[in-house]
Amino acid sequence: MHIIKNSAMEAWKESLRVISEEGRKVIDRDKRLSKEVLNMSLTITEPCSDILAPIEAMKSLKKWAYPELDELEDVFFKKESSFIYYYTYGSRIFSYADAKNQVDGFIIPLLNKDPESRRAVVMIYDPLVDSGADVKETPGLISIFFKIIESRLSATTVIRSNDMFIGWPANVYQVYLLQKYVAGKLGLEAGSITTISHSAHIFQEYDEDVKAVMAKK
């Protein structure tokens, strides 16, 4: 399933519609009922046009204390590990295994040297830490791939488990921030963003809220 839309809001609403109408019913380990579509990809061709719209739609429901933008940025850019979270994306992106700054020490120099490179991948999942049967929390985002296409920097992220209603708006915004950071260092404009969700799902308890979002113009 591949959805291509100009804006984040259009892509998000279409993914919610597809999962609601075509998803298979799944009961997870926490006994929560959801609908799931496997290997769903969303491409936003012009994310800068409304990247915050899904987050604003979530906040407009006034049912959750949705994270503030600075908190979402902090989780993705702070290089140190946190005692509050099982993991932070920033520590793995900018200090993988306490040893490697994958962005400033690899992605940016690589694309400066070879703009056609297909090697510009940031790895977030760490098998040495995450691949244990008893590990409770592992990163949803697995990797982020950058590619320069027609002088614009595209970004593709792989997400193993994606709550498309609650989680996707925050995830795509965070990827966008990193994309803008890398593009700025390279002197480029940010291009498309693609999210590939191995398990794209919506929990049943959000059904009415999903309908409210889908009805928004």
Please give the chain's pLDDT, 217 residues, in tens.
899 999 999 999 999 999 999 999 999 888 999 999 999 999 999 999 999 999 999 999 988 788 899 999 988 998 876 545 456 799 999 999 889 999 999 999 999 999 999 999 999 999 998 999 888 888 999 999 999 999 999 999 999 999 999 999 999 999 999 999 999 999 999 999 999 999 999 999 999 999 999 987 7
Cα angle 75, 174, 209; round to 5: 100
Check if the beta carbon of residue 120 is closer than 8 Å to that of residue 155: no
Provide the CATH topology of domain 2-214: Thymidylate Synthase; Chain A (3.30.572)
Mean pLDDT of the chain: 93
Give all strands (DSSP E) within the chain, no chain letters.
2-5, 24-27, 33-44, 121-123, 141-149, 152-163, 189-203
Structure tokens at 45: 């061709």
pTM: 0.93
Residue among 191, 162, 144 nearest 48 (CA): 191
